[in-house]
Amino acid sequence: NKDNPKLNCRLDGLKKFSPKRIILDNNLNTKTNSYIFKTANKTNTIIFYNKANKKKITLFKKKGIQLIKSNLIKIKYFDLKLVLKKLYKIGIRNILVEGGNNLSGSFLKNKLFNQFYLFKSPKILKKSLPYKDFNHIRYLIQNYRIRSKINNKLTKDTITLYKN
């Protein structure tokens, strides 16, 4: 909700290849004025949730969003293996995870990544901006091997590919 992501392909000529957007949203807090909600249709958006009021569920379903109710483990986290099994059952075989620290860390600790691309920006964020460091780098280095460093011509980011 803070970022209002698009989760689509914005490369010229490739927009039609935008992926199916899969969102983990415990309490169905996705804002109805968000880009995700406004651009949702019957084929492009799936939201896993645990609890929500009936009015919001109805609103999301009318918009064409596929809702999948799923249990949580450890009070507030989805069982990622169960989520992946449900996605597999509906025909999804490859996923790109664009997650924050907690989600990426959970995927790493459960050894659910085949490949992990670590993007490092040379930009230094202002101290006044709230951000969260990726604090699973030690786990990544211990459990995955560096396959290659990628020169990125589009930005000045350093990209490292790790494989298990």
Q: Which two tokens stand for residue 15?
A: 């927009």
> How far is 50 from 72, CA to CA, in rounded Å?
7
> How far is 12 from 53, CA to CA, in rounded Å?
39
Question: Who's near 87: CB < 8 A, 6+ residues apart?
Answer: 22, 46, 95
Q: Are 96 and 126 in contact (CB under 8 A)?
A: no
Question: What three-state secondary structure class fits 55?
Answer: helix
Segment 4-13, tens digit of pLDDT: 888 888 888 8
**Residue-level pLDDT at 99:** 86
Residue 101: name the closest of 140, 76, 136 by CA: 136
Any idea which residue has 């169905």 for tokens? 28
> How far is 84 from 79, CA to CA, in rounded Å?
9
Whats the size of the chain, residue-wise? 164
Segment 84-128, tens digit of pLDDT: 999 999 999 999 998 888 899 999 999 999 999 988 877 776 666
Residue 118: name the closest of 147, 90, 81, 87 by CA: 147
Segment 54-78, tens digit of pLDDT: 999 999 999 999 999 999 997 789 9
> How far is 96 from 82, CA to CA, in rounded Å?
17
Which amino acid, 16? K
H or E element that contains 139: helix 137-143
The pTM is what? 0.86
